[in-house]
């Protein structure tokens, strides 16, 4: 079965769907974040942006839909690791 190359709009939709799933899981895992409205909105916007950018990069590099999914996932994973390292190295003075 021949797989067609996704368009940029298709990659954006894949990144948006993946990011929405991650955002929903973050609210399920950490429901207290719903009370921090400003933080939660900013964090979700960043997750959506990183997911969409990752999907576009994955599509550009692999030219497949599977690459868009992997690109989005890797980019969000890198975002999480980066934020964890910032929080881990910040002193609690």
pLDDT at 20: 85
Q: Is residue 34 scored above 70 in pLDDT?
A: no
pLDDT at 38: 62
Flag whether the pTM goes above 0.85: no
Q: Is residue 5 scored above 80 in pLDDT?
A: no
CA distance 82 to 19: 17
Burial of 73 (0-12, 13-18, 19+ CB in 10 A): middle
Picking from 13, 5, 3, the residue whose alpha carbon sits closest to that of residue 59 is 5
């Amino acid at each position: 079965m021949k797989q067609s190359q996704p368009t940029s709009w298709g990659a954006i939709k894949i990144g948006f769907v993946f990011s929405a799933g991650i955002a929903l899981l973050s609210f399920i895992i950490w429901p207290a974040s719903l009370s921090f409205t400003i933080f939660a909105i900013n964090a979700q916007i960043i997750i959506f942006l990183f997911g969409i950018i990752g999907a576009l990069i994955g599509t550009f590099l692999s030219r497949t839909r599977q690459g868009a999914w992997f690109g989005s996932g890797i980019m969000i994973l890198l975002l999480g690791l980066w934020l964890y390292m910032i929080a881990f190295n910040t002193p609690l003075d």
